[in-house]
Amino acid sequence: MPAVTRSTPRQTRKHTMTRDPRVRQPLPSLLCLALLIGLGGCGSAPEQPAPDTQAAPVAVPGAKPETPPPPAAPPSPHAALHARVESLLLAGEWPQAQLALRQLPDALPAPEQAWRDYYLGWSKWLQGEVVDAASILDRAATTATAPRLQQRISNLARQIATRRGEHLKAAQLAAAQLELTRSPEKRLALMRETWRSLLRIPAQDRQQAEAGATGHWRGWLSLAALDRPDRSGQALQEELTAWLAQHPQHPAAAALPGGLGFLLQPHAGPRQVALLLPLSGELAAAARAIRNGYLAQHYLATLEGGTATRIRIIDTGDFKDVESAYRQAVAGGAELVIGPLDRGAVDRLAGLSQRPVPVIALNRASEPPNQVGAAFLQLSLAPEDEMQQLAAQAFGSGARRALLVRAAGERGARLSEALTAAWRAEGGVLADTLTYSSPEAWSEGLKTVLHLQASEQRAREVRAMLATGIEFSPRRRQDLDSVFLLTSSPQEARSLRPLLSFHYAGNLPIYAPSSVYSGSPDNRDRDLDGVQIAELPWLLGANPAARVALTAGSTGDEHYPRLHALGADAWLLQSRLAQLQAGPDALIRGNTGLLSMDPELRVLREARPATFDGGDLKPR
């Protein structure tokens, strides 16, 4: 078994590295990482996809990537009306678009009916009638004959399916469109879309679909089954080789998606990794949880014969500053550093002018890191990442006008800012905001923002006018269709959720950050029934072997399951460094979510939607 050692300060030695002038990629610092740790030359890397483009134009608020303008309306007796409706929909004016569509005759030939259904489905989506939108588009797909219309219907239907969480349907539609597309650029965009949708599908749903699948679709499902959060790059390399032998004519065989093709190139992982963690001081408990999550995954891989990496554990508290700890790790032979954890230390290490060994930091830097020299990746549990996902979940479920309830303070303001930006980007409207502080003010604050006080005042006026008693139930405002509940703790959420019901808003869908869940089953979570969150796959059943290993080890940090997942994902990224050479195209199914990377080398994570039901948190 590889050695794991604990290091203390000692004199460092000079360590020099040079950059390979042959490297020409969009993320030079990341490829420098590849060269520094012996991942192989970039000249033999798989051909990389072109920048994201839509397979065909369609405008849907919140669609990603951003869509280009649509082509001119099709030749038709109603071409002028089609053009006007399309302009209205692009501007988000769905009521006027629906009025315009009523000018069409009731009886239309099938091709013209398909165009009307396409525009009507689009307008219903903007309206928030998402079930009707999907049903109308399904009908349009059966009657459309023009290839351009078929493509546009497919694009819109895929994006709606994705927003609704119907990832199996979205993947099927994208894979089918890929088979019909000849443009290399559009095929690459559809390949990305198909792969991301496949990795979002829950394992049970994917297995059921694979049982009855045939042809290329079965190949897609079997390829997606290989990418799991417990698979090292070496193990995955062997499985990918076997898959390619079984599916040589598959659309993905020529260029494996998500950066998987880089795993098939000659490469070697780091021979020694240093964990830089604050194992003493106020962050010691968190640091131990991350360490244990990392080591659990490392030892499981060792038992399977998948790693020979030597691990050194360095307590940053033993050094005067994090720079000294980093230099100690480099002098001791580390070819990759994981850590530090606290943001101040991350900021200092990110600003180093000379960084000979790449870093996977466990927090995000306040400013873009200095990427001269070895790469500086940033893996974190930033709650801001969840806000974009919550906005997409709500919009995909039909919400359009939301009430925002948030805690006062810096964290509440930060999450509110991130959510507001994401919600407006989707096309949603924040109808009102309640910022709360002391529990004593919660009830009155909700009464005010829900306009119950105004309703009660009207009742008093009616009683006074009639000079008699009348039965009365307050009526809340009716312009809301959802609530974003950005609380600071599970305790706050368990109190505010029943208060919303008490104040006649219990029928509104509620979306909240994962901080409303403690990470462990709790009978008190019955008060959260119906609340929807985005949670780490680790807490929803992913990677059971590592979780069992941690439980058996009695580490004493069972109250930090999310940090266990963070540590496990640090190991996962270490084992998949070759895959990260794909830059923004890299996509990894991790323990903290579906992992991708932005141009600043920040690891972005997409968690799984989940809902409280009977006091239990269940994946959707």
pLDDT digits (tens, 9 = 90+) for 429-439: 999 999 998 88
State the pLDDT at residue 336.
97
State the pLDDT at residue 45.
36
Please give the single-letter amino acid code of residue 152.
R
Residue keyed to tokens 């599916």: 247
**pLDDT at residue 233 is higher than 90:** no
State the pLDDT at residue 488.
87
Span of 356-365, 549-558, 570-579 with lowest mean pLDDT: 549-558
State the pLDDT at residue 531.
97
- Does 384-512 match 79-201 at the fold level? no
* Percentage of residues in the chain having pLDDT higher than 90: 72
Q: What is the mean pLDDT of residues 608-614?
A: 96
Domain ranges, ordered by start, for the chain: 4-11+26-34+265-382+544-608, 79-201, 384-512
Q: Collapsing DSSP states into helix, strand and coil, what is residue 466?
A: helix
pLDDT digits (tens, 9 = 90+) for 189-222: 999 999 999 999 999 999 999 999 999 999 999 9
State the pLDDT at residue 304.
77
At 149, the pLDDT band (50, 70, 90 cuts) reads: very high
State the pLDDT at residue 427.
94
Confirm if 479 and 400 have CB atoms less than 8 A apart.
no
**pLDDT at residue 469 is higher than 70:** no
d(CA 113, CA 143): 8
Q: What is the mean pLDDT of residues 118-146?
A: 94
State the pLDDT at residue 234.
85
Confirm if 234 and 307 have CB atoms less than 8 A apart.
yes
d(CA 195, CA 174): 9
d(CA 67, CA 578): 31
d(CA 342, CA 410): 18
Confirm if 253 and 247 have CB atoms less than 8 A apart.
yes
State the pLDDT at residue 51.
32
**pLDDT at residue 112 is higher than 80:** yes
d(CA 115, CA 102): 13
pLDDT digits (tens, 9 = 90+) for 391-436: 999 999 999 999 999 999 999 999 999 999 999 999 999 999 999 9
State the pLDDT at residue 152.
94
pLDDT digits (tens, 9 = 90+) for 57-95: 333 443 333 444 445 445 688 999 999 999 999 999 999
Q: Collapsing DSSP states into helix, strand and coil, what is residue 618?
A: strand
**pLDDT at residue 548 is higher than 90:** no
At 44, the pLDDT band (50, 70, 90 cuts) reads: very low
**Hey, how many other C-beta atoms are within 10 angstroms of the C-beta on 188?**
23
Span of 33-47, 200-214, 531-545, 606-620 with lowest mean pLDDT: 33-47
**pLDDT at residue 53 is higher than 50:** no
CATH architecture type of domain 79-201 = Alpha Horseshoe (1.25)
CA distances from 463 to 226, 287, 377, 470, 474 (A): 69, 63, 66, 7, 14
What dotted CATH number matches 384-512? 3.40.50.2300
Tokens linked to 415: 């999450």
Helices of type H across 261-321: 284-303
Confirm if 553 and 292 have CB atoms less than 8 A apart.
yes
What dotted CATH number matches 4-11+26-34+265-382+544-608? 3.40.50.2300
d(CA 191, CA 26): 20
**pLDDT, averaged across the chain:** 86
User: How many residues are recorded in the chain?
Assistant: 620
Omega before residue 77 within 30° of 0, cis? no
d(CA 493, CA 502): 14
Q: Per mean pLDDT, which of 38-42, 190-194, 539-543 is the most reliable?
A: 190-194
Burial letters 384-399, b for 16+ CB under 10 A, else e:
bbbbbbbbbbbbbbbb
State the pLDDT at residue 24.
31
**pLDDT at residue 556 is higher than 80:** no
Span of 103-117, 211-225, 440-454 with lowest mean pLDDT: 440-454
Q: What is the mean pLDDT of residues 123-141?
A: 96
State the pLDDT at residue 7.
54
Q: Count of H helices and E strands in the chain? A: 21, 16
State the pLDDT at residue 497.
95
Please give the single-letter amino acid code of residue 203.
A
